[in-house]
Structure 1
Amino acid sequence: MFTLPETRFDFAGDEYIYAEISREMGLASNFKALAITNELRKRNIPGLIDICPANASYLVRFNPEIISSQDLLDYLIEIDITKSNVAELNLSTRIVEIPTWYDDPITRSYSERFASRHQHPGLSDFDFVMKCNGFTDKAAFIQAHSSTPYFITMVGYIPGTSWEFPLGTTNEEILQAPKYLSPRSKTPNRAIGLGGAFNAIYPVDSPGSYQLIGMSAVPVYDKERRYPELCDYVLAKPGDIWRHRPIDEAEYWQIVADVEKGTYTYRTRDVEFSPKEYLLRGKAYIALLMEGF
């Protein structure tokens, strides 16, 4: 019923194989990339050093003194064939709540600071995103953004950066915005940005070009590893489903204080995600999956 893209494999130097499932971002391609890379980890192939899934591709690094490039390619082709059936792509994953302070003064101050690099210097990033998506009412925009769950398609760029793609939306419903004309030299830690159809939470203070729409009250990166939900220092795992819960200023600062004291507990729920059911039922399947969360 669903035809998944055929993967193209390329050797990259002596230690890498790059697998391109699609040149365009699509959830079906991402589901396949995650299923393949998860299977690779399970097999524990000798000589395989690193596995890096991306939006519609993945990269593997290997030790050519332990496994030849051709032998590894044979493994990849075999796995690729088994994961070309959408019914074989099921994921054991989790839903994660991100308490979000929308249209906050912190990100507004960055809008003002870097207005000269923006398409519309007279608007804050938040107001610009509203305008791009046809909203005139702030509450309606926040409802649209926070009621949409987001699928973590990949983690990277800056360690811990989460790439969130909307689930259960039609193309007409997807919230989108262009990036800055010229990147900011600084973006605050935990700022939530929108670029194209993707959300990203900045894990540390860093340059950036996504339009800033709010602040996460919880960290997505913690070098001190104080929280069990942050595996290998980062919160995001490819395949996670994140939901932004709107909060006000008082709750934001209370959560920040709890985080600093080490008493905050992330709200999560383990779920089984079926790409086949999602591709068949879309929004109805996501509503069932998210029920009660």
Structure 2
Amino acid sequence: MTTRYTFGGDEHLFVECSDEMSLEAFFKGLSMAKGVRESGIKGVTEICPANASFQIKFNPDIIKPDDILREVKAIEGAAEKAEPVIKTRIVEIPVFYNDPWTHETLMRFRERHQEPTGTDLDYAAKINDYSSVETFINAHSGSPWFVSMVGFVAGLPFMYQMVERQRQIEVPKYLRPRTDTPKLTVGHGGCFGCIYSVRGAGGYQMFGITPMPIFDASQSVSYLRDFMVFFRPGDIVKFKAIGREAYDQAVEDVDTGKFSPPIREVSFDLREYQKDIDGYNAKLEGMLYGH
């Protein structure tokens, strides 16, 4: 992986760890961004991490472009030698797959889809060689996902499936974007899953909806009172398929302040994960549920 450095105008340095997404590239970018933050380089005003890259905003009146480039390259050298271990958390996210709200929306926009006669789940199952929508949902919810970045719109997580590359779910985006997507839709585009934090336009395939708010500007939701955005890069997500009754109950619990997503603090070791992916994922799930 050769890191590429480019300047954006007079105030930004873009650091691209790889031109394709991988957990190795994500870990390197995360480690470098952390190193820049902890180094306290004078003139750095903002650090924005992404899937396999990050961007630094700096004040050129305080630090010259060549100087910040030299500083960050030195941090890259240290990051490459660092242990690929992060302290993070694993969280369970309930999902009502094939729900009526995303189904109604996707049917309104079928003329923008690759296969107008079916649904997004039908299409995703077919092109990923699953025998049915049910087996596809089992694969989608069966393995955990890494939150590789948060953004695009406030609080929206991009998630990368934690399985071997040949098993990863991949689905292209709509041929033309929709003008509407329900809030809290669980979607997928390319190799990335996401949760739409707010209602709005979108082009990702729609698989279901979660009753769990992930962004709340008013900070009135019980578990979002400390910070309005739920996710942060490095979070591990485990989806749990639920039905209509459980969905309605969760919505009621959110409204009454009783909903609390299962969360456990964990230490994630990339090398141990790579030795036995399924075994490591099972270990993570056991930590989430206390067994």
Range into which the TM-score falls when normalised by the shorter chain: over 0.9
2:104 equivalent in structure 1:
109
2:207 counterpart letter in structure 1: I
2:150 equivalent in structure 1:
155
TM-score, normalised with respect to structure 1 = 0.92
> Cα distance, 1:230 vs. partner?
7.2
> Cα distance, 1:90 vs. partner?
1.6
1:10 equivalent in structure 2:
6
1:56 aligns with 2:52: yes
Residue aligned with 1:36, SS: helix
Query: 1:220–1:230: 8 Å Cα contact kept in structure 2?
Result: no
Are the structure 2 counterparts of residues 56 and 231 from structure 1 closer, same or farther at C-alpha, using a change threshold of 3 Å?
farther
Are the structure 2 counterparts of residues 45 and 262 from structure 1 closer, same or farther at C-alpha, using a change threshold of 3 Å?
farther
1:122 aligns with 2:133: no
Match of 1:204 among 198, 221, 224: 198
**What pairs with 1:125-274 in structure 2 (closer than 5 Å)?**
125-167=120-162, 169-226=163-220, 227-228=222-223, 232-274=227-269
7-16 or 230-239: bigger deviation: 230-239
Match of 2:28 among 25, 32, 35: 32
1:95 equivalent in structure 2:
90
- The size of the alignment, in residue pairs, is 287
Residues 156-199 of structure 1: CA distance to partner in whole angstroms, max 9, x if unpaired?
111211111011x2233212211100000010100011111211
> Cα distance, 1:229 vs. partner?
5.3
**Separation in structure 2 between the aligned mates of residue 53 and residue 158 of structure 1, nearest angstrom:** 14
Residues 231-279 of structure 1: CA distance to partner in whole angstroms, max 9, x if unpaired?
6421111111001011110111111121122221121111111122223
1:280 aligns with 2:270: no
1:234 counterpart letter in structure 2: V
Match of 2:69 among 60, 70, 73: 73
> Cα distance, 1:228 vs. partner?
4.2
1:171 counterpart letter in structure 2: R
1:174 counterpart letter in structure 2: Q
1:110 counterpart letter in structure 2: T
Are the structure 2 counterparts of residues 73 and 39 from structure 1 closer, same or farther at C-alpha, using a change threshold of 3 Å?
same
TM-score, normalised with respect to structure 2 = 0.93
Query: 1:188–1:204: 8 Å Cα contact kept in structure 2?
Result: yes
Structure 1 residue ranges without an equivalent (≥5): none
Are the structure 2 counterparts of residues 12 and 292 from structure 1 closer, same or farther at C-alpha, using a change threshold of 3 Å?
closer
Residues 32-90 of structure 1: CA distance to partner in whole angstroms, max 9, x if unpaired?
001111222223333211111111111000112222223322221111001113x5232
1:201 counterpart letter in structure 2: I
> Cα distance, 1:18 vs. partner?
0.7
**Separation in structure 1 between the aligned mates of residue 263 and residue 287 of structure 2, nearest angstrom:** 12
Query: 2:216–2:224: 8 Å Cα contact kept in structure 1?
Result: no
**Separation in structure 1 between the aligned mates of residue 41 and residue 228 of structure 2, nearest angstrom:** 25
Residue aligned with 1:269, SS: strand
Residues 101-150 of structure 1: CA distance to partner in whole angstroms, max 9, x if unpaired?
01111111011110111111111112211222222333322221111100
Cα RMSD for the two superposed structures: 1.7
Are the structure 2 counterparts of residues 155 and 230 from structure 1 closer, same or farther at C-alpha, using a change threshold of 3 Å?
farther
Residue aligned with 1:24, SS: coil
**Separation in structure 1 between the aligned mates of residue 41 and residue 6 of structure 2, nearest angstrom:** 19
Match of 1:84 among 76, 80, 83: 80
Structure 2 residue ranges without an equivalent (≥5): none
**Separation in structure 1 between the aligned mates of residue 10 and residue 223 of structure 2, nearest angstrom:** 37
Are the structure 2 counterparts of residues 142 and 230 from structure 1 closer, same or farther at C-alpha, using a change threshold of 3 Å?
farther
